[in-house]
Amino acid sequence: MSRLFCNGQPADAAALGAALVNYGHFTSLQVRNGAAQGWALHLQRLQQATHELFDTTLDGAQLCVWLNDALAQCDMRDASVRITVFSRAFDFRQPLHAVPVDVLVGIAAPVAPPATARAVMSLRYQRELAHIKHVGTFPLFHHRRHAMREGFDDVVFVDEAGRVSEGSTWNLAFWDGAQVVWPQAAALRGVAERLLIAGLDRLGQPHTSCEIGVDALSRFGGAVACNATGLWPVARIDAARFEQSDRLLQLLQQALGQTPWQELQT
């Protein structure tokens, strides 16, 4: 991140040191002209995870003030934003103590999704508390590093039952020739995925979710990855190749376009 702010102030060493405790959660988003797609969902994610991890309430209005002020101080209307919720008062020795939460806002240059189709390797792994976008990202990056050493661009996770769940930092949609298919397994249901589902509904495009075994990927013609950065086609997973990923990409881009950009307010 190019600049960091904690509770509305430039982050100092004390704030950053507390963030290293590795107990917290976050959301990442792309801001364009001071707005974001699915901002209400990002805010909802932060509030729900704050309640689950800290048993307290996150002040959404105050967060929006801090976020907009950070963008203004950086003089950026287009940016990559990461909002992390943690607590400088959290003590892992006494984790049940009620503590106030802190908000770390990171502002960096905007980024775009990969421009070319990705080759992905499957790997048996299940994230802890998969439904929370928590700060325990070490395994995600380590497994992606392993996949790249093996000649792939990224990694997709498979659970103990052999079901495809999610990518390292993204969700995955498949095309079976008639409808969009979402893998059904424990995973972080990302904001981009939720926006795409809503967009497909608006378009009247059929979609479903079902358990997808890693050994059954060859039945799909296309695959597309999605996260807050955007959408990109998947060329193959292991030996299974997807010749219709560009077609699925066009459909999902149209679906995402159904979602208006929201101002960063409650």
Residue 156 has pLDDT above 70, yes or no: yes
Judge if 180 and 230 occupy the same domain: yes
In a domain, 101, yes or no: yes
Average pLDDT of the chain to the nearest whole number:
96
Residue 247, CB-side half-sphere exposure with 13 Å CA sphere: 13
Can you give the pLDDT at residue 166? 98
In a domain, 93, yes or no: yes
pLDDT more than 90, % of the chain: 94
Judge if 38 and 161 occupy the same domain: no
| Number of domains into which the chain is organized | 2
Residue 1 has pLDDT above 60, yes or no: no
Judge if 149 and 249 occupy the same domain: yes
Residue 6 has pLDDT above 60, yes or no: yes
Residue 131 has pLDDT above 60, yes or no: yes
Domain boundary among 78, 108, 138: 108
Per this entry, what is the length of the chain?
Answer: 266
Judge if 136 and 69 occupy the same domain: no
- Cβ-based neighbour number of residue 253 at 10 Å: 14
Residue entry with tokens 């004390």? 14
In a domain, 113, yes or no: no
In a domain, 48, yes or no: yes
In a domain, 242, yes or no: yes
Q: Look at residues 172, 186, 175 and name the one whose alpha carbon lies nearest to residue 122.
A: 172
Q: Look at residues 7, 134, 143, 1 and name the one whose alpha carbon lies nearest to residue 66.
A: 7
Largest Cα separation within the chain, whole Å, is 54
In a domain, 246, yes or no: yes
| CATH code for the domain of 176 | 3.20.10.10
Judge if 246 and 127 occupy the same domain: yes
Q: Are 251 and 55 in contact (CB under 8 A)?
A: no
Domain that holds residue 235: 118-256
Can you give the pLDDT at residue 17? 84
Task: Give residues with Cβ within 8 angstroms of 43, minimum separation 6.
Answer: 60, 63, 64, 266
Can you give the pLDDT at residue 178? 95
Residue 144 has pLDDT above 80, yes or no: yes
In a domain, 42, yes or no: yes
| CATH code for the domain of 30 | 3.30.470.10
- The mean pLDDT value for 195-224 works out to 97
Judge if 124 and 246 occupy the same domain: yes
Domain boundary among 108, 131, 166: 108
Both structure tokens of 33: 């002209």
- The mean pLDDT value for 187-197 works out to 98
Both structure tokens of 164: 């495809």
In a domain, 141, yes or no: yes
Model confidence band, residue 19 (pLDDT cutoffs 50, 70, 90): confident
Mode of pairing for the β-strands spanning 25-31 and 79-86: antiparallel
Domain boundary among 74, 108, 142: 108
